[in-house]
């Protein structure tokens, strides 16, 4: 709803009240990630995953963690969470988006192209949805970093 600072404060408050509240860590990480604080988002995602390793929404945590590592230039660290997220939810375009981005930056062009093609297959109806997802990153440089990597991977989306 565009209130990322407020969401970040609420997530932190929930963690302060209940330090083992895994969802609070995910929300804190998401808020920081979308606010352009990718480096500060990594630890909350990792902690939340440790607290709730079998969470049915783990694919979300993993692909957000992959984006956090990707946006901080930690491409090797972004790969495993991206692979795990795509394996858990192969139908979700944003999981393949994270995977394509980190693979292309690791110089694994063929695999990046395959991930981008999978993203294309899964977003044929939801290209706008993928564009909306990327637009949640308030830092224009980070949005462009994602778009640039996707273009290098062969993505030809129009957002």
- Under 8 Å between Cβ of 41 and 30: yes
**d(C-alpha 71, C-alpha 74), whole Å:** 7
pLDDT of residue 157: 72
Mean pLDDT along residues 73-82: 97
Task: Tell me what the mean pLDDT of segment 103-110 comes to.
Answer: 97
Helix axes 93-105, 109-122, angle to 10 degrees: 160
Confidence of residue 5 (pLDDT cuts 50, 70, 90): confident
Per the model's pLDDT, the better-predicted residue between 30 and 1 turns out to be 30
Of 88, 63, 90, which Cα lies nearest the Cα of 78?
63
pLDDT digits (tens, 9 = 90+) for 133-158: 888 898 999 999 999 999 999 987 76
- Domains of the chain, each with CATH number or no CATH: 4-152 (1.25.40.10)
State the pLDDT at residue 4: 76
Q: pLDDT tens across 55-67, in order?
A: 999 999 999 999 9
């Amino acid at each position: 709803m565009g209130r990322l600072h407020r969401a970040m404060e609420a997530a932190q408050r929930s963690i302060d009240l209940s330090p083992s509240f895994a969802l609070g860590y995910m929300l804190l990480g998401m808020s920081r990630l979308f606010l352009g604080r990718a480096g500060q988002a990594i630890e909350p995602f990792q902690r939340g995953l440790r607290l709730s390793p079998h969470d049915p929404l783990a694919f979300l945590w993993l692909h957000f963690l992959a984006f956090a590592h990707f946006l901080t230039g930690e491409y090797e660290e972004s790969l495993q969470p991206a692979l795990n997220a795509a394996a858990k939810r192969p139908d979700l375009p944003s999981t393949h988006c994270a995977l394509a981005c980190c693979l292309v930056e690791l110089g694994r062009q063929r695999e990046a192209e395959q991930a981008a093609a999978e993203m294309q297959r899964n977003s044929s109806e939801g290209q706008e949805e993928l564009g909306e997802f990327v637009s949640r990153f308030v830092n224009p440089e980070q949005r462009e970093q994602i778009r640039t990597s996707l273009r290098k991977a062969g993505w030809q989306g129009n957002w």
